[in-house]
Structure 1
């Protein structure tokens, strides 16, 4: 998306977001480079930059002189200019982390709770948000983002079965989250949140197009296209776990048989025969994993597939190691640079991505505010001390 500013005075709040987004996307930049990218005058950019410096979002850095005259000042995002809380709710419990604007995790905590009910989960989230605030009691907290298993609002699939959250259908999650956290709240499917985390702060940063395969309690995936997740018409793109790839296979709570996540997921791993070793399980599911990989490649033609999630890292690496024997697909090219499958996006990617939802939701010009205009004026993220 090509972001452009406007030189009209009334658009200054929008222009602040444009300038900040430009630096977040392109890295440290000079005022003139920003002005050229976003279509504003250098004078307008200079005024906005001064305001963003005063509010703590930007840090000016002057380079070493290489010739006569002073080198231009480059503008960097101030890591401590803002923080966000990321929350992940799974059938195993609730996790939370505090993240700064550089994507650094300041601290995290977990509350095990098998199949938590909405009320139980929200009580734990309230505790965790207070715990995260206490890590940096005097800073600006922009918002809270929450990742949870999908899909959302699909009859017969949403909030059904052991790989998702039972009893959450019809719950106003965003409103409840904002109530317990006392912060602007944002929600996404866990696979999308994790893919965003990998794209911004992980192995996906070097790829403009990649597929993130999320190995969680269930299985999901998200295609990142030019840095943006493909979400679908109703936000449920990526439910690869419900592809029936095994003919006459195991019954799935969705009503089909042989769905991928019945085999390739932590739930599937936990249901392996008693006494079966990890290596034996990997051998058993390798043909199914390869079928999934070639399906993804033929559908999306990504630069690579990044396998991550909350599964143990050594288990993911064993699956990735089998990729040396993948069947043929459109990804089988002589000019490949990246491997067809790589490991990445560990457990913290979900929390980073969830926190990034809040950062983008508040600071990015791409996103509509989710609170009323009057409330936004009272909680303007570009005023000092807000959301602290």
Structure 2
């Protein structure tokens, strides 16, 4: 959906977000191009840009002249104009990273905390965030995003079993995260956060329609369509790990038998006593069939493998799929392989979680916080001296 400015009440704070989001998504970009994209006048855009420059959100760059006249100045996000924190909680422990507005990881941290209770986890997160944000004293920390295994809100599957955060049912995630850090807080499934991280900073930048297969402690996947993750009616699309694939197979904590992640996940790998090569050979047929199912359902340009698994293990899995079953993706005119290994690595989840916070605070579509702050008479983008 196109971002468009407004002349309605409270328009100036909203328009700042419109302009900033346009620069973030399309920079370097000229003022005239922003005006055309968002439906505001060049004068209005120039006024907003001047305010954003004064407060350090954007930088103006002018290329060296190549002929007569000066080329127009272009605008881009100032990487150090703000920071965000990404958190990833798994049954194994907690990871955190401080990123700048360009998504660069300034520093990261890890705490061993197997099957952490909510009280312990949020205490640890508060301390980790304090340490990380202390690396940029005086820096503007926009918010915090947390990723954790899903699904959410499903009585028989949420926070049940070894691949989820057992014991976290009915925890007020956003409220607890905000209370422990003092930051605007957001949360998402780890597979969706990883897909976002890959889209923004990895191989996903080269595709508009791809499927991200996430190897965490469990198994999940997200179809990315036109740059956005498809989330489903209740935000739980992608729980491919709970597709029954082996009739009468291993019992799954979700209540079914033979679910895919009982055979294809890091938890399943941990129950295997042999080498990676032996495990990949054993589960190869299940993996290849899963890829064919994904392709026939979503018709992606490619399937990107990523998540917490090591690059070596992901490469072994990709290498085992040289003879994939026939599917709608078996086309002669393919421009890329049917399966590729992502570049985001284990930072993909953290960068995606942090990006969730940046997008949440800066995006004009973030209505809930915008409305709440508006009612209190201030604008989250407003620095000292920036009038509303």
- TM category, shorter: over 0.9
- The answer for the alignment partner of 2:322 in structure 1 is 324
Is 1:160 the counterpart of 2:160? The answer is yes
SS in 2 for 1:72: coil
Bigger shift: residues 284-293 or 373-382: 373-382
Paired with 2:159 and 2:208, the residues of 1 have a C-alpha distance of 32
CA shift in 2, pair 1:367/1:32, >3 Å: same
Deviations 1:268-315 (A, max 9, x none): 00001x3x1210100011111111111111101111111000111100
Is 1:303 the counterpart of 2:301? The answer is yes
- The answer for the alignment partner of 1:355 in structure 2 is 354
Paired with 2:203 and 2:158, the residues of 1 have a C-alpha distance of 30
TM-score, normalised to structure 2, is: 0.96
Asked whether the equivalents of residues 7 and 44 of structure 1 are also in contact (C-alpha less than 8 Å), the reply is no
Is 1:77 the counterpart of 2:77? The answer is yes
- The answer for the alignment partner of 1:173 in structure 2 is 173
CA shift in 2, pair 1:384/1:339, >3 Å: farther
SS in 2 for 1:108: strand
Residue 135 of structure 1 deviates from its aligned partner by 1.3
Asked whether the equivalents of residues 62 and 71 of structure 1 are also in contact (C-alpha less than 8 Å), the reply is yes
Asked whether the equivalents of residues 208 and 226 of structure 2 are also in contact (C-alpha less than 8 Å), the reply is yes
Residue 4 of structure 1 deviates from its aligned partner by 0.9
Residue 322 of structure 1 deviates from its aligned partner by 1.9
Is 1:194 the counterpart of 2:194? The answer is yes
Asked whether the equivalents of residues 82 and 142 of structure 1 are also in contact (C-alpha less than 8 Å), the reply is yes
Q: How does 1:28-43 map to 2 (within 5 A)?
A: 28-43=28-43
Paired with 1:80 and 1:368, the residues of 2 have a C-alpha distance of 25
Asked whether the equivalents of residues 139 and 385 of structure 1 are also in contact (C-alpha less than 8 Å), the reply is no
TM-score, normalised to structure 1, is: 0.96
Paired with 1:22 and 1:376, the residues of 2 have a C-alpha distance of 26
Q: How many residues align structurally?
A: 384
- The answer for the alignment partner of 1:140 in structure 2 is 140
Asked whether the equivalents of residues 147 and 193 of structure 2 are also in contact (C-alpha less than 8 Å), the reply is yes
Asked whether the equivalents of residues 7 and 40 of structure 1 are also in contact (C-alpha less than 8 Å), the reply is no
Structure 1 moving runs of 4+ over 6 Å? none
Asked whether the equivalents of residues 87 and 96 of structure 2 are also in contact (C-alpha less than 8 Å), the reply is yes
Once superposed, what is the RMSD of the aligned Cα atoms? 1.5
Residue 383 of structure 1 deviates from its aligned partner by 1.7
SS in 2 for 1:96: strand
- The answer for the alignment partner of 1:277 in structure 2 is 275
- The answer for the alignment partner of 1:257 in structure 2 is 257
Asked whether the equivalents of residues 362 and 369 of structure 1 are also in contact (C-alpha less than 8 Å), the reply is no
Deviations 1:73-92 (A, max 9, x none): 00011000110000000000
Flag structure 2 segments of 5+ consecutive residues without an equivalent. Answer: none
- The answer for the alignment partner of 1:231 in structure 2 is 231
SS in 2 for 1:146: strand
